[in-house]
C-alpha cells in the first residue's frame, strides 16, 4: 500500500451503479487528490466511465465481476448468492486483505451489514456493530448511533457504541474529548430502561478519559446538537432518524405549497430565493451522505442508494477521512482504555494486597 488512501468501491451498488459511482469518485478526487480507487463490478460498464476522466483513470484499477447484490435482496440471499463473488463482497474483501483502506457501497444496507460482519468480522471485544449517522444540528453536526444495525443493546454494548462514536467524532470534528449523551425519555421515575441507566453508570464511573459524558439527552436534543455523540440502540435510533427525515420533508412540502399559492408569495419567494437556497443547502441530504459501520475490523461506508454523484462523493470523502485518521485504531484505543483502566485498577489493588501480604 502507498501513502495514499486506497478506496474500494462497490461500483454496482445503489440505484444507478457505475454511472454515479465513477463520477462521484472523480468529484471526491478533485477535493482530496491523495486517493486511489479499486472499482469492483462489471468492467464493460465501468471502464468507459473511468477512462473518460484522465485524472480518475490514472489512480484507478478495476476488478471485474459479473455478480451484483440487488437493492431488494434479503441479506441471507445476498450472502448465499453474492459471497466471494459479488462486487459488494469483493470490495469488502479488499479491505480484509489490506489491499484497500476502506470500502464504500451504495448497495442495500442489510446485505452490506451482513456481508461486512461475515467478511471483516468484529473487532476483538466488540459484540455488536453499529451504523453511525451524521446528523445536521443547529450547532453544526452530531454523530448518532446505532441507527439500525441491530435491535436492542445491553449496557456494555451501549458503552461500546459511546466509545466507537467518540472515536469517529474525534476524527470528524477534530476535537480531543467529544461530549456524549445517552438517548432517553423524559418521563420521571420510569426514566429509561435498565440498560440505559446502567450504561450511564458505567460511562460515569468506567474511566473513559477521552469521553466527556453528559448524561441523558432527549429526542429534541438531536436537532439542537446538545452533544457531539448521541448513543442509543438500533430500534429507537432508526425511528428517530426516519422521523426527522420525514418531518423535514413534511415541512418542505408545506412551505412549497404555501409559497406557490398566490402571485405575491411567488414574488416573495423569488426575492428571498437566496435564503431558500441556503436553507435547501443546509438540509441537503447529500452533504451528510454516508453511514459509517462501526465495530468491524475494517472501515465500511454506506452511501444512500438513491444519491447522485455529489452525494456519493461525500460518502467517499467520509471514508477517506475515517481511513486517513485511523478510525479502527482509535476505536481500539478507546476500548482498551475503557477496559484497561478497570483492569489497571484491579491490578493495582492486587499489587497493594501482595505488598501488604509480603510486609
CA atoms of 190 and 232, how far apart (whole Å): 17
Q: 106: left (phi > 0), else alpha (psi -120 to 50), else beta?
A: alpha
Q: Can residue 265 be called a binding residue for its own copies (CB under 8 A)?
A: yes
Min dist. Cβ of residue 318 to its own copies (A) = 21
Min dist. Cβ of residue 135 to its own copies (A) = 10
Query: Which position among 55, 261, 349, 350 is part of the footprint of its own copies (CB under 8 A)?
Result: 261
Query: Which position among 137, 142, 303, 332 is part of the footprint of its own copies (CB under 8 A)?
Result: 137
Q: Can residue 15 be called a binding residue for its own copies (CB under 8 A)?
A: no
Secondary structure (DSSP) of 132-159: EEEEEETTEEEEEE-SSSSS---HHHHH
Helix H or strand E segment including 343: helix 327-358
54-93 binders of its own copies (CB under 8 A): 74-76
| CB of 307 or CB of 332, closer to its own copies | 307
Site string for its own copies, 270-299 (x = CB under 8 A): xxxxxxx-xx--xx----------------
Secondary structure letter of residue 283 according to DSSP: T
Q: Which three cell numbers stand for residue 125?
A: 471485544
Cell numbers 469518485 correspond to 25
Q: Can residue 122 be called a binding residue for its own copies (CB under 8 A)?
A: no
Site string for its own copies, 174-193 (x = CB under 8 A): ---------x-xxxxxx-xx
**Residues forming beta bridges with residue 136, ordered by sequence position:** 141
| CB of 195 or CB of 341, closer to its own copies | 195
Question: Exposure pattern of 325-352 as b/e (b: 16+ CB <10 Å)?
Answer: eebbebbbebbebbeeeeeeeeeeeeee
| CB of 236 or CB of 307, closer to its own copies | 236
User: How are beta strands 102-105 and 299-302 bridged, if at all?
Assistant: parallel
Min dist. Cβ of residue 234 to its own copies (A) = 7
Q: Where are the alpha helices (DSSP H) in 260-326?
A: 263-271, 273-282, 309-324
91-120 binders of its own copies (CB under 8 A): 108-110, 113-114
CA atoms of 6 and 38, how far apart (whole Å): 7
Q: Can residue 150 be called a binding residue for its own copies (CB under 8 A)?
A: yes
Query: Which position among 1, 151, 343, 344 is part of the footprint of its own copies (CB under 8 A)?
Result: 151
- Whether the upstream peptide bond of residue 146 has omega within 30° of 0, thus cis, is yes
Site string for its own copies, 195-224 (x = CB under 8 A): -----------------------xxxxxxx
Amino acid at each position: 500500500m502507498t501513502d495514499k488512501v486506497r478506496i474500494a468501491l462497490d461500483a454496482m451498488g445503489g440505484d444507478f451503479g457505475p454511472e454515479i459511482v465513477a463520477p462521484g469518485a472523480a468529484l471526491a478526487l478533485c477535493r482530496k487528490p491523495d486517493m486511489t480507487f479499486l472499482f469492483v463490478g462489471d468492467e464493460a460498464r465501468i471502464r468507459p466511465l473511468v477512462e473518460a476522466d484522465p485524472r480518475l483513470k490514472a489512480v484507478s484499477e478495476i476488478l471485474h465481476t459479473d455478480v451484483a447484490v440487488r437493492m431488494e435482496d434479503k441479506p441471507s440471499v445476498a450472502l448465499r448468492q453474492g459471497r466471494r463473488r459479488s462486487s459488494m463482497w469483493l470490495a469488502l474483501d479488499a479491505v480484509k486483505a489490506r489491499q484497500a483502506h476502506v470500502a464504500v457501497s451504495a448497495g442495500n444496507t442489510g446485505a452490506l451489514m451482513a456481508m461486512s460482519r461475515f467478511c471483516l468480522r468484529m473487532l476483538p471485544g466488540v459484540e455488536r456493530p453499529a451504523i453511525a449517522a451524521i446528523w445536521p444540528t443547529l450547532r453544526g453536526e452530531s454523530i448518532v448511533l446505532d441507527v439500525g444495525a441491530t435491535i436492542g443493546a445491553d449496557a456494555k454494548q451501549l458503552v461500546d457504541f459511546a466509545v466507537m462514536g467518540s472515536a469517529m467524532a474525534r476524527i470528524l470534528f477534530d476535537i480531543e474529548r467529544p461530549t456524549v449523551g445517552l438517548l432517553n425519555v423524559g418521563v420521571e421515575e420510569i426514566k429509561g430502561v435498565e440498560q440505559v441507566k446502567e450504561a450511564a453508570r458505567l460511562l460515569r464511573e468506567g474511566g473513559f478519559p477521552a469521553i466527556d459524558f453528559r448524561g441523558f439527552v432527549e429526542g429534541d436534543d438531536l436537532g439542537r446538537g446538545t452533544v457531539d455523540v448521541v448513543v442509543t440502540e438500533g430500534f429507537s435510533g432508526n425511528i428517530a432518524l426516519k422521523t426527522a427525515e420525514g418531518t423535514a420533508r413534511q415541512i418542505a412540502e408545506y412551505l412549497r405549497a404555501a409559497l406557490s399559492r398566490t402571485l405575491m408569495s411567488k414574488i416573495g419567494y423569488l426575492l428571498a430565493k437566496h435564503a431558500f437556497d441556503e436553507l435547501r443547502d443546509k438540509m441537503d441530504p447529500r452533504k451528510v451522505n454516508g453511514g459509517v459501520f462501526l465495530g468491524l475490523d475494517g472501515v465500511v461506508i454506506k452511501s444512500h442508494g438513491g444519491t447522485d454523484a455529489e452525494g456519493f462523493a461525500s460518502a467517499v470523502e467520509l471514508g477517506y477521512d475515517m481511513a486517513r485518521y485511523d478510525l479502527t485504531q482509535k476505536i481500539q484505543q478507546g476500548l482498551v482504555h475503557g477496559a484497561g483502566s478497570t483492569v489497571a485498577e484491579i491490578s493495582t489493588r492486587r499489587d497493594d494486597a501482595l505488598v501488604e501480604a509480603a510486609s
